[in-house]
Amino acid sequence: MSETLSLLLLTQGTFKERACLNQHLIPSNCTRILANPFSLTLNELSCYCQNIGFSNYDLSVYMLALITLKATQEAPLADNMGLNYFDTINYFIVNYNQYSANIMQTYFSALIQEISASDDLTSWMKKIMTLSINENDIQPVRQCIKIRCSSKVNSILTKIYENSNKSTIFELIDFLDLGLQCKLDLNELTNYTTSIILEKIISDNDLRGFNKYLGISIKVDFNGSREIINKLKILQILDQENLDKIKFIEDKIGAIIPIKKYEKKLKQIFQAENLINSDINWNEITTEPQPFYARDAGKFRVVCYYIKFSNGLGAVKKSYIALANDADFTPVENEIKILIYLSNRSTPSNSFLKFYGSALNNYQADLYMESGGISLMNELTIYKSSGRLVEKELAERWIISLLNGFAELSNYKIYHCDIKPHNILVKPDKTLKIIDFSVSMKTDESETMLITMENPIQGTRGYMAPELQDNFDKGIRTATYKSGKADVFSLGLTILQIMTTNNSEGLNTLEKNKELHEKVNSVRGYPEWIKQLLHKMLYPTRNGRISFNKCLQYIQIDTGYASTINN
């Protein structure tokens, strides 16, 4: 890494001096953060952050630096807590980019220790994909993960030798695919592993005829083998030797050929609106040099940058960059129309973001929208890492806000299709905004008039309704569902996570629905109407599940909040 000023020296000097100028903003029970900061534990620092808040720039930098230093000092943290504090430190890097080199110079060794000691390598790979630092600086981290990957792959291969379980092979292929997405140099390991799997398929099914020649009868599994071959094809770096083996196997047992199923498309008549004018000088935009988010999605690369207009207004630029000549921008245009529609109705108190405009050409679409705050997922992670729950009054305010926000979307016939804490923004004043309409849909009909039909599954594992999750877990990428009812279930899971700070992954299936409702019953300290409503929202089948507008009927009058939707 390049030589930079130590984060410790910065914290003891510049950061603390600036923080002291704002000590009048620090509650009396948090003064130790200035008087004796290095005696504080990580939990205490997290609690202080919650009490002080992040509205003041200098205090925020100082507190985040203290957390980074303490997490580095105590690495590796017990119980995989390093994963939680990684999110906090990554937030520090992304939002205060001018200090990213100082942060990584300090945190680098701790990051290596966390990865080396963790038993959750998959989560670490996903985390590293979000890290926005210099490519040269991240290579040693990838090398550390690569070493751990080799060990894990060999461990899984041992299981496969002992028992050719299809689910174990699928687990291994998904793990390698994730590693490749993480830009790890796994070409040799992937081809070695693939070769072993293919040889086992050949042997188990006696495709070379050795057992037949010896008169030994064996039980073949052509269907399972075809599924494994189909799964292996997601690995885009297979060498010619493995490709030849795949051809040899498919010549013997056949191949799974994807056939595009005809689907009758519902008419979606958008009442397109013009964006209400805003006083923005589009000729003077300052863009941060590094994106805070980047991933490949189908035929697009999605990249997000923090930007600033000449009037000082901060915003986010979300870019869709085509990776193929036949990339279809129709979903992006749909997202823009939804953002315009909601922006024209945005107020400081409702759940809709301001949208400032877009620029499209044949290869790229840039969307400009309101910024500020952190995701609800990161907010809940901070609470969880400090061993605290969201304050009941704030949680209830958030619950009512989300119920009204998504009911209003439903009233506009807009269905989000990917509701989760990651897609909800917590503003500095603790109001919530709904974000990411990239897979959303808008219809010209009430959902009660829509035909329930088989559609592609949209959403995120662990937050889908059972009718989607059960199919997704079986490798089926379509399901019979109504988007509005599926959204209700996803919002129910999100509300439950607000109340507990824990997600409910694994419980959003038909089989585990009883356990999910037991989890709702175990929550203490909330008004009874919230728990009654959650039982209705988390009903296992769509036909018995409540609608968004009916959800609003459960909000008690004495909460001080009124519905924004006419029932």
Q: Each residue of 526-544: pLDDT tens digit?
A: 999 999 999 999 999 988 9
SS3 assignment for 129-146: CCCCCCHHHHHHHHHHHH
If we measure between CA atoms, which residue out of 104, 101, 107, 96 comes closest to residue 61?
Answer: 96
Residue 451, Cα to own-chain centre: how many angstroms? 30
pLDDT confidence of residue 139: 85
Residue type at 464 in one-letter notation:
M
Please report where in the chains the tokens 């662990």 appear, as a residue: 462
> Are 31 and 39 spatial neighbours (Cβ–Cβ below 8 Å)?
no
Do the beta carbons of residue 491 and residue 419 sit within 8 Å?
yes
User: How far, CA to CA in Å, does 335 sit from each of 137, 257, 367, 455?
Assistant: 35, 32, 9, 19
Low pLDDT (below 70) residues in the chain: 1-4, 256-272, 277-279, 444-457, 479, 557-567
> Helix and strand tally (H, E) in the chain?
22, 13
User: Which pTM value belongs to this model?
Assistant: 0.52
CB atoms within 10 A of CB 486: 27
Q: What is the pLDDT of residue 2?
A: 40
**DSSP H helical segments within 182-317, as ranges?**
187-204, 210-214, 222-232, 240-253
Residue whose C-alpha is closest to residue 312's, from 289, 336, 279, 338: 279
What's the CA gap between 75 and 113, in Å, rounded? 6
Q: Which amino acid is at 565?
A: I
Compute φ and ψ for 232, nearest 5 degrees: -60, -25
